[in-house]
């Protein structure tokens, strides 16, 4: 297993809410990342992110690891939730708020 895959696995395991995106939450570098960040921020919980533009190894390996070809990718509690379309749809129907709130609450309980 490559170091990059180990890094990805660690990031996913250590961050209950993790977004792989282009850019940063304050400066998204693509429209899909921007929409996903907006949906996540509306949930009101902190989340980790990885700027794949600054991490070309992760950008190359994550689609194979996740079996998901595009970015952004939202991971919650070690599970791939999906990309922009799925996250936005979940935000619109209220599922995202529930998922993010529960993940954040579980993290706070564990601390």
Question: Residue 78's Cα: distance from chain center in Å?
Answer: 10
- Please tell me whether the overall predicted TM-score, pTM, comes out greater than 0.75 for this model: yes
Helix%, strand%, coil% for the chain, nearest 5: 55, 15, 25
Q: Which domains does the chain have, with CATH numbers?
A: 3-110 (3.40.30.10)
**Binding-site residues from annotation:** 22, 30, 59, 71, 84-85
As annotated, the binding site for [2Fe-2S] cluster includes: 30
Q: What is the pLDDT of residue 109?
A: 75
Tell me the pLDDT tens digit for each residue of 27-79: 999 999 999 999 999 999 999 999 999 999 999 999 999 999 999 999 999 99
As annotated, the binding site for glutathione includes 22, 59, 71, 84-85
Q: What is the pLDDT of residue 111?
A: 66
Share of the chain above pLDDT 70, in %: 97
Q: What is the pLDDT of residue 1?
A: 53
pLDDT at site 108:
74
């Amino acid at each position: 297993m490559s170091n990059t895959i180990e890094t990805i696995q660690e990031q996913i395991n250590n961050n209950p809410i993790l977004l792989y995106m282009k850019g940063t939450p304050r400066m998204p570098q693509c429209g899909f990342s921007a929409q996903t960040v907006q949906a996540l921020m509306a949930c009101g919980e902190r989340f980790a992110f990885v700027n794949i533009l600054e991490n070309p190894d992760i950008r190359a390996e994550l689609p194979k690891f996740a079996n998901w070809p595009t970015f952004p990718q939202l991971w919650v509690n070690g599970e791939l939730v999906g990309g922009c379309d799925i996250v936005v749809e979940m935000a619109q129907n209220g599922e995202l708020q529930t998922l993010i709130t529960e993940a954040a609450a579980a993290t706070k309980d564990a601390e």
